[in-house]
Structure 1
Amino acid sequence: MSCPTEDDIDALAEVYYDSFAEDPNNTWWWPQDRDAMFEWLHGRIRGKMANRNIRHYQVLDRQGGEVVAFARWDIPKGYEAMFGEWIGSKGDDALDVSRVVVDSEQQSDTTEPTATTAPVEEAAPSAVKTIAAPRGADPELCQFFFAKLAALSKKWNADQMLGLSLLCTSPKYYRRGAAKALLAPMLAIADAAGLRSYLEATPAGRPVYEKLGFRVVEVQKFDPDAFTGGKVKGLTTLSIMIREPQPLS
């Protein structure tokens, strides 16, 4: 596990796209043009890397160096130094998580879908006001989607907690423990600091987080049917989950 740099943006965008592409309840605001979405992802990832209050971590395949998964964390004020170097420092330290990332045959009961959190990189209410929609996407759909997320974040005072704003796993690395490898070190730091943690989970991701101590505090459902011209049927469901700091062993 290591900090990605700008050289990794292509790979991160690929993992992001592939992990959410199969979930229409989280992608109905996307443009149909794949290249346009990649263009937007590049800009968003680069912008987030420039934010000193955000940390990115990735898990790499030791043999080929391929990005297996990556996570984005929002760090509350006053805790920046505890959660690793900002990407601008371009630190090269890496953590060996090979004991956590195991072969699926050895960990067959691990539920780890590709996309386990809502893509909430625009969760801050102030950011939603100025969000630029992907080229070819409907700006009103994007505004509606991210405004929902922003309202939840504000309601639960997420900026006062360690926030998991994004977690993506490449479809090629299902059920190999990559999510746990990305979560466990940061949650251990939160425990040591007595800090609560926050996320907004997809239905598929909820069991992953429950195993790590997160508990549902609210379930938010909304129907995008009216906003998509009938393209998306059924409710979009997000579970707001908070984890209390765990006692140190």
Structure 2
Amino acid sequence: MTTWKIEPCTVADAPALARNNMSAFWTNPNWNLLWPKDTKLEFLIEQVTERMPNNLIRDRATLRHQKAVDPETGALVGYARWELPAGYEGAAEWADSQIADVSEEEKMAFKKRSDAAWWEPKSMDGIDDCVPEKTRILAEKPYISE
């Protein structure tokens, strides 16, 4: 049995990440409800490919990105995004999974591409109504410990 390699992501992984993530989510019937009925998977992959570099470079202080790679083919087979709690002291220790910073020109180009991409899911008003309660619970104590 092959053991996947876990590696940090880079912005160059955007096309493979878009294909991996959209293909995985597309198999979830509930996730499909987000999109107009005529939306096609390949179209979403194309749009997310344009949006992904901008998404990867946001919130670098708290977000970490890793990919699972098939060691025999080099193909990306999985992705995880981790959000560290604000002020977590171990953040510097996990710097290898932090997306490398890019120049201001690259940031502007990524933002322009992202803003030009289609992203019009159906309204999900109210879906995050539980966020204040989650915030309150997470403020009670640290949830990452040594």
Q: What TM-score range do you get, normalising by the shorter chain?
A: 0.5 to 0.7
Give a deviation string over 1:136-181, Cα, whole Å, max 9, x none.
Answer: 84x5x2x316x51x333332018958xxxxxxxxxxxxxxxxxxxx
Give, in whole Å, the separation in 2 of the partners of 1:159 and 1:9. Answer: 34
Give a deviation string over 1:193-231, Cα, whole Å, max 9, x none.
Answer: x8427xxxxxxxxxxxxxxxxxxxxxxxxxxxxxxxxxx
Of 44, 48, 56, which aligns to 2:55? 48
- C-alpha RMSD over aligned residues: 3.1
| SS of corresponding position for 1:144 | coil
Question: Which ranges of structure 2 fall in alignment gaps of 5 or more residues?
Answer: 1-5, 103-114
Task: Establish whether residue 196 from structure 1 lines up as the match of residue 143 from structure 2.
Answer: yes
Letter in 2 for 1:17: M
What's 1:60 paired with? 69
Asked if the contact 2:67–2:76 (Cα under 8 Å) also holds between the matched residues in 1, the reply is yes
Letter in 2 for 1:70: Y
Question: Which ranges of structure 1 fall in alignment gaps of 5 or more residues?
Answer: 91-131, 162-193, 198-244
| SS of corresponding position for 2:74 | coil
Give, in whole Å, the separation in 2 of the partners of 1:36 and 1:160. Answer: 37
Letter in 2 for 1:69: G
**Inter-CA distance 135–66: structure 2 relative to 1 (3 Å threshold):** same
| SS of corresponding position for 2:66 | strand
Give a deviation string over 1:82-106, Cα, whole Å, max 9, x none.
Answer: 433421159xxxxxxxxxxxxxxxx
Asked if the contact 2:65–2:81 (Cα under 8 Å) also holds between the matched residues in 1, the reply is yes
* Aligned residue pairs, count: 120
Higher relative CO (Cα under 8 Å, sequence separation at least 6) belongs to 2
**More helix as a share of residues:** 2
Task: Establish whether residue 33 from structure 1 lines up as the match of residue 40 from structure 2.
Answer: yes
**Inter-CA distance 34–158: structure 2 relative to 1 (3 Å threshold):** farther
Q: Which runs of 4+ in 1 moved over 3 A?
A: 134-137, 158-161
Shift of 1:42: 2.2
Give, in whole Å, the separation in 1 of the partners of 2:56 and 2:27. Answer: 26
